Amino acid sequence: MQTGRERERERERERERAPEQNQKQKKSVPVLPWMRSPIDVILIDECPLNLLPFLDPRLEVALQKMGITSLFPVQVGVWQETIGPGSFERDLCINSPTGSGKTLAYALPIVQMLSTRAVRCLRALVVLPTRDLALQVKEVFSAIAPAVGLSVGLAVGQSSIADEISELIKRPKLEAGICYDPEAPLLHLQSSVDILVATPGRLMDHINSTKGFTLEHLSYLVVDETDRLLREAYQSWLPTVLQLMRSSDGDLRSLFPHTSTFLPSTFGSLKTIRRSGVERGFKGKAYPRLVKMVLSATLTQDPSKLAQLDLHHPLLLTTGQRRYRLPERLESFQLICESKLKPLYLVALLQTFQGEKCIVFTSSVESTHRLCTLLNFFGNLQFKIKEYSGLQRQSIRSKALKAFRAGDIQVLVSSDAMTRGMDVEGVINVINYDIPAYIKTYIHRAGRTARAGQAGRCFTLLRKDEVKRFKKMLQKADHNSCLVYSVPSDSIELLRSVYTSALEKLKESVESESYKKHKIKLKSSRMVKRKELNNSKV
């Protein structure tokens, strides 16, 4: 019988296989008209901050404190479409390589636009698929938003929901001589944040159960890593958010029957703005409308998936005519190795890096755990190795990631939980220990290096029978410059005896872990039976 985790992994594999299995059918699916005439940001030059039109001087100072003196092409392209005359008249779809600066591309214009209205309520929502990615994006917003008086919140389930509520919702202090009606507590609840970065599950928790949490005033919705968020239901978060926004333009009382028609005075100006006025060029629609920005390094072209977003006159910004694009300064290598000696080739390769930061990708959480355990049994290696996978608790993953960022760990062995969007400064090398099954996966893995215009290398370990399939996969990204890399044979021979010992220790470790899991499972089963017996007696 499959466990819940095994069923989820099988569903994930099915979702990944679907694009390949239906490739012929997809070729016949027409491309949406607006995707045929994109804006090519490759044609846009980097722009120094002092030449960026309309940039708030306070934001310029905040960016300089981050070490940013100019914007990358994708950031300039988005700025041109969002700031100034005609700003945000169309929803934006951004298909740009990993490491090209997509987070700041949407964070900067949103913060600039929100700073023009002096109200405190939730006006911008950024949704991401994982906690660590959400934390990373929140840091970007937090670096610039306070400069213009804006507050940023986080809803990812890392802390208790009670702690999150205390950070997101505030109650005004009781004034002397005024007694509030305890039967209508929502009258006195206000948002503590202007911008919320969230994962879908925790977002739905707040929508369904947090008193005072409302999307009534939402003006901006960002869907980052769009293809993944559209592929997975995540408790129907997207239809829920869009329905809430449609309802907020109509009769709020039918949507929030427990809320009085009178909002706190701090909401008054925005409430008037949202209910009055007509958006230029789109007569009869409330202004400001909900603006959507969707982003990915491998943005889907499937009309049925994009239709879920209910985009408004969308505009596509992309890099070149290719759907799949790798970082410009990425060097790709293939290392042919014997299957049984694959860990030896990996260790020999890691030794050549001399302590440079490296991420090693495997095909599953189990493989990640086994490989990391095995490598740590080699002993006397001149670099530290840690695991990063879905098998770990969030706190342990976050601790490993923090140590990796700080340089205390040089090698991070990871499942594909690390592939999307994660930005770790100084990662020079990426290794595909297991060949990625699809070009999308390769692009996201390789994108952990060669970010923000820096150089980087991606190595893929291959058996001889995998070389042809790997070459065919890279052709989908028009990537034909994957060089053959080799490690000295004497390096492999020197590691053989250590490898034999490490394998024995790994076997013992696996048996010990299996025994512990069996005991835990047996104990849990007995507790369930005891509870059922007690219930039957009652």
Q: What is the pLDDT of residue 172?
A: 65
Q: What is the pLDDT of residue 13?
A: 54
Tens-digit pLDDT profile for residues 374-405: 999 998 899 999 999 888 888 898 899 999 99
Q: What share of the chain is helix, strand, coil (3-state, %, to 5)?
A: 50, 15, 40
Regarding whether 367 and 313 lie in a shared domain, the answer is: no
Distance, CA of 265 to CA of 489 (rounded, Å): 75
Range of the domain at 345: 330-508
Regarding whether 439 and 401 lie in a shared domain, the answer is: yes
In which element (H, E) is residue 513 found?
helix 489-537
Regarding whether 336 and 292 lie in a shared domain, the answer is: no
Regarding whether 495 and 367 lie in a shared domain, the answer is: yes
Regarding whether 119 and 241 lie in a shared domain, the answer is: yes
Residues of the chain with pLDDT under 70: 1-30, 86, 172-188, 248-288, 421, 515, 517-519, 521-523, 525-526, 528-529, 531-538
Cβ neighbour number for residue 508 with a 10 Å cutoff: 11
What pTM value is reported for the model?
0.76
The domain tally of the chain equals 2
Query: Burial of 226 by CB count in 10 Å (0-12 exposed, 13-18 middle, 19+ buried)?
Result: buried
Tens-digit pLDDT profile for residues 36-71: 889 999 899 999 999 999 999 999 999 999 999 999
Regarding whether 311 and 365 lie in a shared domain, the answer is: no
Gyration radius of the chain over CA positions: 26
Q: What is the pLDDT of residue 259?
A: 34
Q: What is the pLDDT of residue 256?
A: 35
Beta carbons of 239 and 308 less than 8 angstroms apart: yes
Does 334 fall in a domain?
yes
Residue 303 is encoded by which pair of tokens? 């009309």
**Strand, coil or helix: 429:** strand
Q: What is the pLDDT of residue 175?
A: 54
Q: Please give the span between the terminal C-alpha atoms of the chain, in angstroms, as a whole number.
A: 31
Regarding whether 490 and 466 lie in a shared domain, the answer is: yes
Burial 238-260 (b: 16+ CB within 10 A, else e): bebbbebbeebeeebeebbeebe
Regarding whether 393 and 295 lie in a shared domain, the answer is: no
Regarding whether 355 and 237 lie in a shared domain, the answer is: no
Does 267 fall in a domain?
no
Beta carbons of 325 and 356 less than 8 angstroms apart: no
Regarding whether 212 and 357 lie in a shared domain, the answer is: no
**Strand, coil or helix: 47:** strand
Handedness of CA 291, 297, 303, 308 (dihedral sign): negative
Q: Which amino acid belongs to residue 41?
A: V
Regarding whether 296 and 375 lie in a shared domain, the answer is: no
Q: What does residue 173 show for φ and ψ, rounded to 5 degrees?
A: -65, 140
Distances (CA, A) of 344 to 244, 375, 413, 500: 55, 9, 15, 10
In which element (H, E) is residue 153 found?
strand 152-155
Q: What is the pLDDT of residue 537?
A: 58
Question: In CATH, what number is assigned to the domain containing residue 109?
Answer: 3.40.50.300
Regarding whether 378 and 314 lie in a shared domain, the answer is: no
Q: What is the pLDDT of residue 147?
A: 97
The closest of 215, 306, 239 to 33, measured between CA atoms, is: 306
Distances (CA, A) of 278 to 271, 274, 445: 14, 10, 45
